[in-house]
Structure 1
Amino acid sequence: MIHEKTILIVDDEPRTREGIRKTLEAWYAGKNRIQTASSGVEAKEWLASQPADLLITDVRMPEFSGLSLVEAIQHFPSKPAVLIMSGYADFSYAQQAIKLGVVDYLLKPIEKQQLLQTVEKALHIHEQQRRIQAMQEIVDPKLVDIRERREQQVDTPIGEALSYIEAHLGEPITMRELADSVHLNSSYFSVLFKEQVGLNFSEYLMRKRVQRAKELLVQTLLPISEIAGRVGYQTDKYFIKVFKSLEGISPSKYRHTVNEKSS
């Protein structure tokens, strides 16, 4: 599903502002929302109350410059991609813009084709950044801690066990069979696993399976029943129960919520 993007154009020159607006409105033919502001102050207030996917701003404006505007929104909950426009080839402005993570620096007068290509690039970058952020948010923090410690366990029996679990999440895995595969009795394996991993075997396996399920929910359109099978659960009913116990919501609700954030 393609979601409407919001683009905010900021320039104190009405002719430039309206020219860009008309170009983008003609190009997107109502598929995206194009908004304008005549000053940096007005744009800051607008962005404080609603999100935008892309900010196109002139660098030199009275009272509140484009760079001041970009600095002001750095800590906003929802930060847009930014394109800076200028009628001057000023290297110091360009340097500051790069430090602030601006996607591109456009010199006026801006050619129509250059504008459209740069806007498309900026929207794509913003979409990728939101997708990455959404993926980072779904990572189980306990598994992140374990992954960092795992580097010292590569050639140990527990390291081998963790590698096996990673490669066979979609298959039945029992602690006894895993202990046998690394030549340890199950009681000692259980104690050693908890000591070196920080979680007992069953909780670790559950978290790994739910983590893989979250990735599949976000990255694919696979039905819940198929995802359940791919992460080692024989019935989707039991999978949903386990997922809810760990995440607090159902897999379908989770998919909807994360996809909404990243769209």
Structure 2
Amino acid sequence: MYKRTILIVDDEPRTRQGLKKTLDTWANGEYQIITAANGEETIEIMDKQKIDILLTDIRMPEMTGLELLKVIKDRNMSPIIIVISAYSEFEYAHEALRLGVINYLLKPISKKNLIEAVEDALKAVEKQERAGMIEKVVDTKLVDVSAHNPSNRIPIREALDYINNNLKNDLTQKEVADHVHLNPSYLSVLFKEHVKLTFSEYVTRRRIQRAKELLMSTNLPIVDIAEESGYKTAKYFIKIFKEIEGETPSAYRKNNNE
């Protein structure tokens, strides 16, 4: 199972080991706590593995903490960052905040303040991951449907709700039209007018959206995800998924769950 990793960067061995010891005791094996003595070592580590939380000293020889943060930002690495400093000069704090730091701890750091800062950072990691997942699975055309807000047309709102709640089942335009007490041809016209997609396009996009959510959040086999998303065969599901997403469901899962 993946363990979140916390990296402590400080050029003073005693400080580095003291922080590690405190966090090791607090983590009780639940998180991986590792250390680096300088910026160069930090970059080497981050090139090889994902770092969830970075605690870094501001003042270090050769590469300062702020220079390290700039390199990380330039490389599009996005750990949650906590800065440690014995200096309370405003410009350091100001520059650190500009570089995406969420907390600024002044030495000497109490165990309580350190643990509180790391717990806050863990919440931020989870929030960042949820936001990333939503961004990856969202279908902009479906977002547009919500933005157009067709709720002023009650039959359309009811039709959308019925589709969304029955994605796993066979869905025909006639069945949905019967549910909202409309002629199927009239529903088709209303649907295109208010949803900006045909009935079948909307159903397909909602099914693929459901599949993406399951691929990202579960370990279900592809055949089960196909069934949960309303497809009778995995072969047909894979074909439709690839047409819309440009890759197979397996590739999508692998690329988005690194």
TM-score range, shorter chain: 0.7 to 0.9
CA deviation map 1:165-210 (0-9, x unaligned): 1222222211122223334332332233223222211111011011
2:80 matches 1:81? yes
For residue 152 of structure 2, give the secondary structure of its aligned residue in structure 1: coil
**Which residue does the alignment assign to 2:178?**
180
Q: What is the percentage of aligned positions where both structures have the same residue?
A: 48
CA deviation map 1:109-166 (0-9, x unaligned): 22456545543542453244134213311211221222211x2x10313233222212
For residue 101 of structure 2, give the secondary structure of its aligned residue in structure 1: coil
Contact map agreement 1:6 1:33 (CA 8 A) in 2: yes
Shift of 1:83: 0.9
**Which residue does the alignment assign to 1:148?**
147
Contact map agreement 2:88 2:106 (CA 8 A) in 1: yes
Higher RCO, 1 vs 2 (CA within 8 Å, ≥6 residues apart) = 1
Shift of 1:45: 5.7
For 2:28 and 2:75, locate their aligned partners in 1 and report how far apart those are by CA, in whole Å. 27
| RMSD, aligned α-carbons | 3.4
**Which residue does the alignment assign to 2:233?**
235
Corresponding letter in the other structure for 2:38: S
Alignment of 1:24-173 (within 5 A): 32=32, 34-38=34-38, 42=40, 46=44, 49=47, 52-61=51-60, 65-67=64-66, 69-71=68-70, 73-89=72-88, 93-94=92-93, 97-98=96-97, 100-112=99-111, 114-116=113-115, 118-119=117-118, 121-149=120-148, 151=149, 153-156=150-153, 157-173=155-171
For residue 154 of structure 1, give the secondary structure of its aligned residue in structure 2: helix
For 2:45 and 2:204, locate their aligned partners in 1 and report how far apart those are by CA, in whole Å. 41
For residue 104 of structure 1, give the secondary structure of its aligned residue in structure 2: strand
For 1:35 and 1:2, locate their aligned partners in 2 and report how far apart those are by CA, in whole Å. 19
Count of aligned pairs: 255
Contact map agreement 2:38 2:60 (CA 8 A) in 1: no
Contact map agreement 2:168 2:228 (CA 8 A) in 1: yes
For 2:19 and 2:34, locate their aligned partners in 1 and report how far apart those are by CA, in whole Å. 10
Contact map agreement 1:161 1:178 (CA 8 A) in 2: yes
**Which residue does the alignment assign to 2:250?**
252
2:30 matches 1:11? no
Unaligned runs of 5+ in 1: none
For 1:30 and 1:221, locate their aligned partners in 2 and report how far apart those are by CA, in whole Å. 22
